[in-house]
Amino acid sequence: MHESTFISMLKDKDKRFLKRTIRMIIRWEKEDCDGAIYNLHGDNDHTLPIKNISADEVIQDGSHMMMLTRASDLSPLIENFLKRNSSQ
């Protein structure tokens, strides 16, 4: 799945759904988290560009859809993070 798939998915969504979703994201009132957070971010994410992100790990050629397109690459990173933080 690549950028063309993502664009196709957006086109298939109801415009009211997209407008409501964007509004929710913009108005999101973030709360602090007591637990550990591990931010994986792709350097090829055009939806949320890396220049705006403070990532723990930057994935080379990773896109916004990399959880779907590169799950096998990301799973070991997430598993290692969970092992390191399971006793906290």
Give the model's pLDDT for residue 88.
58
What integer best gives the mean pLDDT of the chain? 85
Q: Name the residue among 15, 25, 6, 4 with its Cα closest to residue 64.
A: 6
Q: Tell me the HSE value of 19 on the side-chain side, using a 13 A CA sphere.
A: 3
Q: 7-11, 13-17, 52-56, 73-77: lowest mean pLDDT where?
A: 7-11
H or E element that contains 53: none
* Residue 14 pLDDT greater than 70, yes or no: yes
The tokens describing 44, both together, are 């090829």
pLDDT, one tens digit per residue, over 53-82 is 889 999 999 999 899 899 999 999 999 999
